[in-house]
Every structure is written in structure tokens, then in C-alpha cells.
Structure 1
């Protein structure tokens, strides 16, 4: 984004103030006039402007914190330097200590700005890794080592061995470590900057940052030249030049668009094509895009409580700090699509209703067909029993006792037909029948046998799932054994045990064994055995299946 007018004025004022301070010092350096306080005020103004400008222009919170710390460090350095030159004797212990502490900003400033370059090309929410503050530990130790130079003289070695600012001195390893850390950070800043820029940016825009870096490097190389200092060495002292270099380098990145800034957002907003704007707390529009609609206060107040749709435009309002942000969406095409979708929905609802009705009819037809098929199957299976019952009812004795006995026998046949039909219906819905259904069927048959004076008892446990074929076979076997023993039957006992599979026993007080040939094939298909034995005037019928027949 081009540099806006406000930032351009700030840059021109800063450049003019820096140039004036250099000329001012150059003119007054050989006079007895004290100029340090005036120069400090000028430079502090430049640093303060840069501080507020940086906080306004850069979106990343972490970068703003680092640049703020850098600007404050520059201002403290400038103030302390001025106090040393203006109010403290040059040969005092305090003056020498301030001189030592000059190297704290020398070490920290490059490190802070190096860390700030890591935000270039990152999102606004990016934060440095949690371990990044560890980098300040060696820097702090190095600055503390220079500050305690009087104890070891590893940074500055005085000619006569006694710390004295007026004495000649040479540089020690700590000094070169400080300069080395500064050069290392400068190289890191250049590397991170170059890595983030495109080839086109490098060809067109890197001249300005390279020129600023070249001048700073030249000043650093010639810093020890006290005999014949160059013009700009005389204009700016080392602390001032160091601070100005970092400010100039950072601004050169902004000028060449290698470092994006958040400046000029109003111009960007006005030139954008978005249908949005900003309103103050009184709902007065203060900023909006050139092509965006301009709603009135009533519409904005209404949209604050809910969406407003008018002439195909959807208006929304969101409170922000100091006012409201509104935006409008053209939903005319969406409304047309919604109308088409509504027509399609109505058509599909009608189609679905017709399909559901057809499906219900088909399901009813299929269910009726299945029921008819099941009823036909039950009718065919029980046809001999129906025929026998019909014959019995057609020819009834004339005497009362014979009529009563015939009706009792008809009732026994009828309950069998009823209960067998019920079991067949249960078998048609599921492949398994609970043993309790067998107990109910046998129990009801025994109840009708008692009307004929036949004692009966059944011990059949409930809650066991058995295959439908197994239950039907056991009930039909019971009915066949009873019919075979009538009318001489006086007692019948039925037991069912699930101890080791299925053990079904019928005991009759009649030695006549029923014909079991009709059950042998069905028993073999179930994997069981069937037998009938006579002993001591009783008949014992057994049906057993080892380890199976149910679930």
C-alpha cells in the first residue's frame, strides 16, 4: 500500500530533525556552547514519533511490543548519554559506568529488531515460540560483563592497568563479542528480510535498505578512527548513529513495501469494492466504500436488532469499539434461487406424498399377501383336524350323555386347532418361539381334558427361546399321544427339561403307544431322537435334542 500523507509528513519531519541535529552539532562542536540537551530533545522527539507511528501501523501485537521496547531503549540511551556529557565529570567513576552501560543497548537493540523480523510475512495472530526469551540470557550476561569491566578489564584494557576514562585503552574479548553479536543480529535481520521478499522486490527496492546498511557498516568500521573522523562521524555520535540506523533501516523496509504495514486503511477501505462501512455511536456513517450503499439511521438501528432486507439487499450491523460496523449483501440472486427452490420443494413434497402413499399401499398389499399365504399354510396344515372336527359335529348322539361326551371331545380338538394356529402364526413372524407359549398351549389343552375327567399336569419352564419347528413338534406330539390314548385315558404328565439340551417327556396311564412315524423325519431334521415305551400300564413318550434346539 502506498505511504499515506500522515506517514509521509512524519518521515519528512524525522529526516529533517535528524539532519538539523547533525548540522547543529557540527557547528557547535568547537565552541563552548553546551548543545547536548538540545540535541537530546530533537532526537527524543524523533524516537517518540517513531514509537507511536509503529504502534499505529503494524498489526502484529508481538511486533508492536518489540518495537515499543526498542524505541524506549533508544530514548533511555539518549537521556543517559546526555546526562553523562552535560552533568557528570568525564573522569568520574559514574561517567565510566555509564560508558560501560552504553553496550547494553548496543547488544539489545539488534536482538530486539532481529526478533521483530520474524513477524514479517506472518499472520496477525502469530507469536514467537515460547523459548525465544532464552536469547536474552547470553545478551544480558555479555552486557553485565562489560558493565563490570573495572573488575576484570576483559572489555577495555587501560594502558596503566587502572580504570580511568582519560587513560588510553585497548579492546578486549568482551568488546569484540559485543560487536560480533551486533554484526550477527544485523546479518540475521538482512537474511530474514531478503528471505521474505520476492525477486522483483529485491531488484527494485533493496537499494534503499542496502544503502542504509552500508552507511551503518562504514560508520562502525571507522568508529575507532579518532584522529581524522569523517564528516558524518563528527555529526553523530555512536549511540545516536546506532539508534538512527535501526529506525532508518526499519522505515526503509516499509518504504520499499518489504515490510507490510497497517497504514492508510481508510484509503484502502474507500477504494475497496466491499459493501460495508463504519458508523459512530449515533449511527452516523463516517466511512464507507465508494460503491457501497449508504443506509440511513433508521435502517441501521433496525439492523442492530436483527437483519434488514430491503430491495434485495441484506443489511447487518455489528457493534465495534467507538461505533458500529455495517455491511450489506446483494441477495437478489439468492432470493430468486430460493423461489425456485421453494417451487421445487413443493413439487417434491407432492411427489414424495404420492410415493409414500404408493409405498404404503404396496406394503399393505405385501403384508396382506404374506398373511394370506400364512393363513393358507395354516389351513392346509390343519385341514385334517378341521375335517375331523366337522365330522364330529355333524353326527351328534341323540342322548344327553353321548351329546355331552361328543362336545367335550370336540372342545379338545378345537383347543388344539386354536393353539396350533397360534404357534404357526408366531412361527411366521419369527423363527423362534418362547417355551412359555408351549406351556400355555399344553396347559389350555390339559384344562379341557379335565372337563372329561382326565387329570393332567405340565412342568414346562418359560423364558427359553426355541426354534418354531421344535415347539410345534412337541405340541403336536402331545396332541397325538392324547388322541391315541382316548377315551381310556385318565391321567397325563408333561415335563420339559433344559439341563443338557432339550428333554421332553409325556407320560400317559395307558399302554397304547401312538404311531410316531409321522414325527421321525421331523425329529431327524432337528437333530434329535424320539421314542415310545410301555411299562406297568403306562406309556412313556420321549423327545430329546442334545445341546440344541434353541438360543
Structure 2
């Protein structure tokens, strides 16, 4: 028979366990020695082995799930039988309920195997139609009716009409319905197996399933022979024989190849054109395609960690149960394409370096031009101040007191030039200046005014971005107001408020007109207003602008 060694061992173990269970049941059945638990354990081991064997051998996910559920029902049926015979008195209510539950696997198991038989002759991608679920409705109704038999006695009619009585019983319509479902499912399984069986398969392979079916029919016909039961009737209960019948019939379909299973694929693998193979844990190649290359053991070992490229082929290794699967890919065209891409990459890198260098040179030239233009504009704007400072230094008096006063005035003009230059640079780089820079500029100018015994104080907030031209104007306005009254003042107070706009005030302690007319025009060009107010011996120079001037 076309079965592999592992499957042969499973069959031998299963048959030995079944014969041992039957022999034990036959020899101890009419003695006082309890044997049902041991028999159930042997049969349950057979069902469990068949469960794992089926999951290993069948490809379709649907058939694996159905056979798994079938094996679980077999074990449940065996468990219910052992509990009923060994642990629960049959005349008790619990024993009677367990007896009713005995029929649930008898109804559902044939239906599940009928659904599994629908996969015979189908492809691996076949999915069972959902309309099959309708078949569970009558089966569930019959099972529910048997479980609730105490209420209606449609499955078993007790002689005295009372379930708790120990007298006999007769069968009702629900019992015959359950047996009908069993027979219909067996007939359906036979039909589906024959439907997908060719004429040559029928003449050559269907003999084994037919023999098993005949044995099942003999057991069913003789089942009512309770007067002098035959030895095979005493060896296996109805539930045991039913489970063994289904399992043997299913295995006969596999052995005769009416139902293909996932075994003996080595020859198929060797005859294929796949450039791959299987190696054991020692990297010795066991199976490979006839036309595939055989990589060296050292290459396989190295490919476990990283892919190996040799002679235009890429070797990959993936660990599997018991060894490694390897395959080779022809990458000669890919290598040629990579070489062309590498050449293109080198060319583009050279072009990128050249363009990047040219861009940096152009950026440097542009920054230099902008800086030169900015320096020229600063020099042009502060040219009158430079000339005034130069004349002042050239005309310093010879006497010590006059020289000292001239240097004090030169220091005031120098710090103004310095701070104006700084504000012009900041304005040229970003277009706006922080109000804190105005405060620093005015504070430094006030520091130099203290050399001439002029005391000042500034209250200017930080952290507000203001237009650069507006900041320059306010500093120049402060400087012009101080210089215009330099000989008459002794104190200066500067404040800036930015609540609803700009409110810049310079207070000097003398009454004069210290601001040139040009500042009034510049204030208007900045969307603001400039006022000078004389009050109580002091002069207030006030520049105000609306909130829009802050933008």
C-alpha cells in the first residue's frame, strides 16, 4: 500500500490498540472486573493519534477543521460511555441524562464526516458552501429532542410511563430519526466517494472501502441480536464500532488514493524544476530538484546568517523543522542592472559635487554682495555723523577742561554711531528688531551721558518684535532730543509702551525745541505722530503709532 513509514507505524499502533481494547472487553465483559475505563483510554489514544495525523496529512484548512471536530466528538462519545457505565447508576436521573447525551455525537459525527467527504476531488482552495450549515438544523432538533426525552418520551417510551422506573422501554420516532440521520450520512459519504472515483479507481481501489462498509452493515444488522451476541458485538459497543467504522473508512480512502493526503512528496520535489532543496540539521542535502545546483555545506552555513552570492546566483537558507530549506535565485540580470546603476550613481555624485560647489560659491558671492551693500548703506546713512565726529576730534581745545568736554561729546557721538550701525545690521538681516535691542542702545547712551553729569533712566520692555526702521527712528529721535538740549539738561527719562500700539516718550528737564523738523516728516512716513510738549520746566518728546505700525 502507498503509505510512508510514519503512517505505517501509526496504523500498526492503532490496530494493536483497537484489538487490545476489544480483547480486553471480550475477556472481562462477563466478570466482575471493571474494564470500561481502560478500554476507553485505549480507544481515546487511537482517536487522539488520528486527530494529529489528520491535521498533518491534509492540506485543506476546512477538512482539517472538520476532522478535528470529528475526533473531539469521538473522544467525547467515548468519555460519556465510560462515565455512564462506571460511575453513574443507570437508573438515576443523572445517569439517564448522560445516556441521552450519548446520542449527541451519534447524530453530529456522521454529519461532520459527510461534510468532510464533500472535499473529495476538490482543489486545495475549495471552501465548503455556507448552505451546508442548514443540515445542522434537523440534526440539532433531533438531538435536543432526545436530551429532553423525559418531558415527552418521543425518543424512548418507558413501559410504566415514568422515566425513573426500572422497567423496560421502547423506541420512539426521535430515535429512528437519529438512526435515519446516521444511515443517510453513511450513504452520502459512499456516494461522494464513488462520484469522484474513476472507473479504473473503482475496479482497482474501491474494494477496501467496500469491505469496511460491508462489515459496518453486518454489525448494524446484528445489533438487535441481544439474546446471544456474537464475539465482535461483545468486543465493541455501538459507539465504539461507529467511531472505528468512520475512522477506518476514512483511512481506506486515503490508502487507496481516492482522497489525496499530504504525504510522499519527495518524488514530486525531485522531479520538479525548482532550484531548491532540503538539508538536515548538519547541512547535508537530503532532497533537491533534479536540475538544481547543490551548494557546498560551507555556503549553506554562511547563508543562514546572511545571503550568499556566487557565480551570479543568490543563495538563501531558511530554518524549518528538522533542518533547513534553501533556494537559489539567478541574479545575473540584476547584477548587470546594478552595475549600470552604480555607474549612473557615480556620474550623478560628480555632477552633484560640482553643482553644490557652484551653489556654495554663488551663495558666498551673494552674501558678500549683500554685506557690502549693507555696509555701504550704513556708511552712507551715518556719513553726517562720521563727519561731525571727525570735525569734533580735529577741533579739540588745547586746554585741559575744554579737551575733556570735547572728548565727552565725542564719546556720546561715538556710541550713537556704534549703536546705529548695530541696529542697521540687525534690520538688514531680518527686517525686524527685538525691542530689547532698543533698550540696550538707549541704556548704553545714557551711560555715556553720565560722564557729562546727565542722569537718565529707561523703561523699555523686551521680547517684542518691531519693524527695524521704527526702532532706528526711536533711537535717533532719542539721540536728537538729547543732543539738541545737551548744554541745558541734567536728567533724561525714556519710556516705551506697546499695549495698543507704540507710545515712545523722552522727557528732558528743560523747556526747548530739541527735535529737528525732519523727524516730524519721518514719523508720518512710519504711520505715526510726533509731538513735543513743554510743561513745568520739562520737555516731552512723544512718538505714537497705532497697532498696525507694530506689524
TM-score by length of 2: 0.66
Instruction: Judge conservation of contact 1:278–1:325 (CA < 8 Å) in 2.
Output: yes
CA offset at residue 307 of structure 1? Answer: 3.5
**Which has the higher mean CA deviation after the structures are superposed, 480-489 or 356-365?**
480-489
Deviation string, structure 1 residues 277-324 (Cα, Å, up to 9, x no partner): 112233221111122211233333343454333323333333322222
CA offset at residue 425 of structure 1? Answer: 0.8
SS in 2 for 1:512: coil
Q: 1:463 maps to which residue? A: 463
Instruction: Judge conservation of contact 2:74–2:243 (CA < 8 Å) in 1.
Output: no
Deviation string, structure 1 residues 27-50 (Cα, Å, up to 9, x no partner): xxxxxxxxxxxxxxxxx9x99998
Relative to 1, partners in 2 of residues 1:128 and 1:308: Cα closer, same or farther, differing over 3 Å? farther
Q: 1:513 maps to which residue? A: 513
Relative to 1, partners in 2 of residues 1:437 and 1:117: Cα closer, same or farther, differing over 3 Å? farther
Q: 1:172 maps to which residue? A: 173
Q: 1:85 maps to which residue? A: none
Instruction: Judge conservation of contact 1:146–1:175 (CA < 8 Å) in 2.
Output: no
Gap runs ≥5 in structure 2: 12-43, 82-89, 203-208, 224-237
The whole-number CA distance in structure 1 between the counterparts of 2:254 and 2:123 is 13
CA offset at residue 180 of structure 1? Answer: 5.7
SS in 1 for 2:3: helix
CA offset at residue 542 of structure 1? Answer: 0.9
Q: How does 1:120-139 map to 2 (within 5 A)?
A: none
Instruction: Judge conservation of contact 2:492–2:506 (CA < 8 Å) in 1.
Output: yes
Instruction: Judge conservation of contact 1:500–1:546 (CA < 8 Å) in 2.
Output: yes
Q: 2:475 maps to which residue? A: 475
Q: 2:540 maps to which residue? A: 540
Q: 1:110 maps to which residue? A: 110
Q: 1:300 maps to which residue? A: 300
Deviation string, structure 1 residues 211-243 (Cα, Å, up to 9, x no partner): x99xx9xx99xx99x9xxxxxxxxxxx997998
SS in 1 for 2:507: strand
Relative to 1, partners in 2 of residues 1:267 and 1:455: Cα closer, same or farther, differing over 3 Å? same
Q: How does 1:6-25 map to 2 (within 5 A)?
A: 6=3
CA offset at residue 390 of structure 1? Answer: 3.0
Relative to 1, partners in 2 of residues 1:203 and 1:537: Cα closer, same or farther, differing over 3 Å? farther
Q: How does 1:15-414 map to 2 (within 5 A)?
A: 54-59=54-59, 63-64=63-64, 66-68=66-68, 70=70, 103-113=103-113, 116=116, 142-143=142-143, 145-146=145-146, 153-155=153-155, 171-173=172-174, 175-176=176-177, 179=180, 261-414=261-414
The whole-number CA distance in structure 1 between the counterparts of 2:422 and 2:444 is 13
CA offset at residue 457 of structure 1? Answer: 2.5
Instruction: Judge conservation of contact 2:153–2:172 (CA < 8 Å) in 1.
Output: no
The whole-number CA distance in structure 2 between the counterparts of 1:355 and 1:393 is 52
Relative to 1, partners in 2 of residues 1:186 and 1:427: Cα closer, same or farther, differing over 3 Å? farther
The whole-number CA distance in structure 2 between the counterparts of 1:400 and 1:529 is 43
Instruction: Judge conservation of contact 1:254–1:261 (CA < 8 Å) in 2.
Output: no
The whole-number CA distance in structure 2 between the counterparts of 1:515 and 1:77 is 113
Instruction: Judge conservation of contact 1:485–1:512 (CA < 8 Å) in 2.
Output: yes
The whole-number CA distance in structure 2 between the counterparts of 1:375 and 1:477 is 22
Instruction: Judge conservation of contact 1:107–1:182 (CA < 8 Å) in 2.
Output: no
RMSD: 5.6
CA offset at residue 424 of structure 1? Answer: 1.0
The whole-number CA distance in structure 2 between the counterparts of 1:110 and 1:272 is 39
The whole-number CA distance in structure 2 between the counterparts of 1:383 and 1:47 is 108
- Are 1:448 and 2:448 matched, yes or no? yes
The whole-number CA distance in structure 1 between the counterparts of 2:187 and 2:504 is 99
Q: 1:198 maps to which residue? A: none
Q: 1:87 maps to which residue? A: none
The whole-number CA distance in structure 1 between the counterparts of 2:170 and 2:80 is 23
Instruction: Judge conservation of contact 1:114–1:186 (CA < 8 Å) in 2.
Output: no
SS in 2 for 1:6: coil
Instruction: Judge conservation of contact 2:270–2:287 (CA < 8 Å) in 1.
Output: yes
SS in 1 for 2:487: coil
CA offset at residue 75 of structure 1? Answer: 9.9
Relative to 1, partners in 2 of residues 1:202 and 1:376: Cα closer, same or farther, differing over 3 Å? farther
The whole-number CA distance in structure 2 between the counterparts of 1:309 and 1:354 is 35
The whole-number CA distance in structure 2 between the counterparts of 1:112 and 1:494 is 98
TM-score by length of 1: 0.66
